[in-house]
Structure 1
Amino acid sequence: MARLHLTFACGDYDRTRALEEGTVRPDGIDLTYLRLPVEETFFRMMRHQEFEVAEMSLSSYVVSLRTEPRPFVALPVFTSRMFRHGSLYCHADAGISSPEDLRGKRIGTPEYQLTACVWMRGILADRHGVPVDSVSYFTGGQETPGRIEKAGVDLPDSLRISRIPEDRTLARMLAEGEIDALCTPRVPSPFVAGDPRVRRVFPDVVAAEKEYYAATGIFPIMHVVVIRRDVHDRHRWVAQSLYKALLAAKDAAHRNLYDTSALRFMLPWLTPQLEEARALLGTDYWSYGLDANRGTLATFLRYHHEQGLSARLWQPEELFAPESLESAVI
């Protein structure tokens, strides 16, 4: 029987490299791996459904569940996880000396529905007394004017959300004090340039994130892998084949991180940092599958619903292809 040819658009990750290189092959599938920037992949998949399989923002995927028939089905594969306390920046003269001071402020965000920003709004509400509706939000291009949102969402009237002028950028507005703070997955250019007018809201990001994990046990999930609905409907077996292959690729990358013969990445203390991560987060800190991630997913889905992005509260098991949640007993 001929193998099924599928295109998989994804970022440049150690945990998926074995699929790109072909050292791990999904059962019955010939995979064309397109290494693309995440913003491009998300935009093209959400707007035009260009790929059979793609990495996708967790928030965008949950937003897509509003559409019937649903355009995608997800696998419990989390290509990106990241603590996001370091994603909050503020103007130095905005009167923000702690995250609690964000209440009542003007906060920029490239898109309201970005996964990193859903997490941080939820964390600010749960742990720092900053309800979602207690600030004003400004959306638009961070470094380039005129950003187009990947997906339109109907939001509650209680939220104050405005588009910035088409000739302005959030990075410049933050530096010039036209907004008080910025929540963004990418480091804004004024901060990169060392502009003293821009600083992080959490000055010791690592300490804040370690404290957050110790209190919650959550290592935030950013991205999932989705299969286009028409592909899944025609070939239900694809979900299990891809899940097994993605898991094998991730496990291989995790093993290779502990190879101390030569550093795989340009980080001088990579091995001690890996050992510290295992000590703090557990040996399987980048787990795939539903069971180990149910609590993290439930928290995110609660945030998504509370922030007006999903019409109802989804349950974690509703997100994924049933075939990817089951395996043969050996």
Structure 2
Amino acid sequence: MRKTITFGCWDYDRMFPILDGRVQPQGIDLNFLNMPVEETFFRMLRHQEFDVSELSLSSYVVSLHKPERPFIAIPVFPSRFFRHSSIYVNAESGIEKPEDLAGKKVGCPEYQMTAPVWIRGILSDDFGVPVNSVTYFTGGEEEPNRVEKLKLDLPEDIRVVPIGPDKTLSQMLYDGEIDALYTARKPSTYTGPNGKVRRLFEDFPAVEKAYFQRTGIFPIMHTVAIRRAVYEADPWICQSLLKAFDEAKDITVQSLSETAALKTMLPWAAAHFEEAQAALGEDYWPYGFAPNRDTVATFLRYSHEQGLSPRLLEPEEIFAKETLEAFVI
């Protein structure tokens, strides 16, 4: 008898073969609920509405330190993103280089949000900007009243201040009420390289390629998490899902390499794909534990250093044990 599972996730190209039924996890009828990430995360973290869902890597790691430990992840990563492009500054703030961020007022929608965790870690490692050298302002980027999805217990030297109920980070950055913004979505007040709100790294592709060449890290944003009760009842679903998601990704890679006709509305898609493979490697978006261990370990160190993880976790601790080793035929 096949098991019915609800799956909350956005409609990424690497999920298309799952969404349209070309790939079906063995033994599973997957009910794919297509939603933007903010809705998926809120509903899963607050109410555990789905059997399986895409989940913020940071939120998942924070949840592992809660007594109930509600989720277990598999090494599937629907979202990866270099985040040097996601640091925005007010042109009148005096921030010209990363080191200038120390002592400034910096917005981020949530302190525990994955993108700012990566940004803070990179700024600390590569530019000597300590996490506790900044005052963080949290809240809605474009709409007021966003709050942390998970309750945090941060060290006293990390200063996090919620913004007012009628404020948005995007407008505060434009008005100079905050000096910079670490975020996932480009703020609506971004006005380009010569505008009032600009990127810290306007030539971000070059900076991010250099970062990868130096570190080998293509930052992971999201993983796939299973409600622990669902996992404990049927541990076999981990491998079934991992195999299906990996097959779907392989189909997408083949689609990206197609040159007979453009499958995406990007005129130079073939050139971009070839450039990505040349810069990052043939399998630049790997699933599975082994090829991602070092990237995950770096993120876990950042989570610990930033006061989100009371204990430094090992990568082997955060994924279902059934997925730690790849089977060989």
Judge same fold: TM > 0.5, yes or no.
yes
1-side partners of 2:256 and 2:196: how far apart? Answer: 38
The alpha-carbon deviation at position 52 of structure 1 amounts to: 0.2
- Contact 2:7–2:50 (Cα < 8 Å) also in 1: yes
Q: Deviations over 1:135-168 (max 9, x none)?
A: 1110011111111221111000001111111111
Q: How does 1:221-300 map to 2 (within 5 A)?
A: 221-300=220-299
Q: Which residue of the partner structure matches residue 27 of structure 2? A: 28
Q: Deviations over 1:152-196 (max 9, x none)?
A: 110000011111111111111000000000000000011168992
- Give the residue type in structure 1 aligned to 2:260: S
The alpha-carbon deviation at position 247 of structure 1 amounts to: 0.6
Q: Deviations over 1:78-124 (max 9, x none)?
A: 00001001110000100011111111110000000010100000000
1-side partners of 2:42 and 2:57: how far apart? Answer: 13
1-side partners of 2:191 and 2:234: how far apart? Answer: 46
Q: Which residue of the partner structure matches residue 318 of structure 1? A: 317
Q: How does 1:11-26 map to 2 (within 5 A)?
A: 11-26=10-25
2-side partners of 1:301 and 1:140: how far apart? Answer: 24
The alpha-carbon deviation at position 14 of structure 1 amounts to: 1.0
1-side partners of 2:193 and 2:312: how far apart? Answer: 41
The alpha-carbon deviation at position 16 of structure 1 amounts to: 1.0
- Give the residue type in structure 2 aligned to 1:241: S
The unaligned stretches of length 5 or more in structure 2 are: none
Q: Which residue of the partner structure matches residue 121 of structure 2? A: 122
The alpha-carbon deviation at position 325 of structure 1 amounts to: 2.2
Q: Which residue of the partner structure matches residue 205 of structure 1? A: 204
Percent identity between the two aligned chains:
58
- Give the residue type in structure 2 aligned to 1:295: D
2-side partners of 1:278 and 1:194: how far apart? Answer: 28
Q: Which residue of the partner structure matches residue 37 of structure 1? A: 36
Pick closer, same or farther for the CA change 1:151–1:62 going to 2, 3 Å. Answer: same
Pick closer, same or farther for the CA change 1:72–1:214 going to 2, 3 Å. Answer: same
TM-score by length of 2: 0.98
Say which is worse superposed, 270-279 or 49-58, in terms of deviation: 270-279
1-side partners of 2:26 and 2:289: how far apart? Answer: 22
What CA RMSD, in Å, does the superposition of the two structures yield over aligned residues? 1.2
2-side partners of 1:93 and 1:264: how far apart? Answer: 43
What is the DSSP-based 3-state SS (H/G/I as helix, E as strand, rest coil) of the residue aligned with 1:46? helix
Q: Which residue of the partner structure matches residue 48 of structure 1? A: 47
Matched, 1:87 2:110: no
- Contact 2:192–2:198 (Cα < 8 Å) also in 1: no
The unaligned stretches of length 5 or more in structure 1 are: none
- Give the residue type in structure 1 aligned to 2:245: L
Aligned length: 329
Matched, 1:304 2:292: no
Pick closer, same or farther for the CA change 1:35–1:321 going to 2, 3 Å. Answer: same
Q: How does 1:67-78 map to 2 (within 5 A)?
A: 67-78=66-77
TM-score by length of 1: 0.97
Q: How does 1:142-181 map to 2 (within 5 A)?
A: 142-181=141-180
The alpha-carbon deviation at position 225 of structure 1 amounts to: 0.3
What is the DSSP-based 3-state SS (H/G/I as helix, E as strand, rest coil) of the residue aligned with 1:5? strand
2-side partners of 1:133 and 1:30: how far apart? Answer: 47
1-side partners of 2:325 and 2:293: how far apart? Answer: 15
- Give the residue type in structure 1 aligned to 2:77: F
The alpha-carbon deviation at position 238 of structure 1 amounts to: 0.6
The alpha-carbon deviation at position 328 of structure 1 amounts to: 4.0
1-side partners of 2:322 and 2:214: how far apart? Answer: 33
The alpha-carbon deviation at position 243 of structure 1 amounts to: 0.6
2-side partners of 1:123 and 1:194: how far apart? Answer: 22
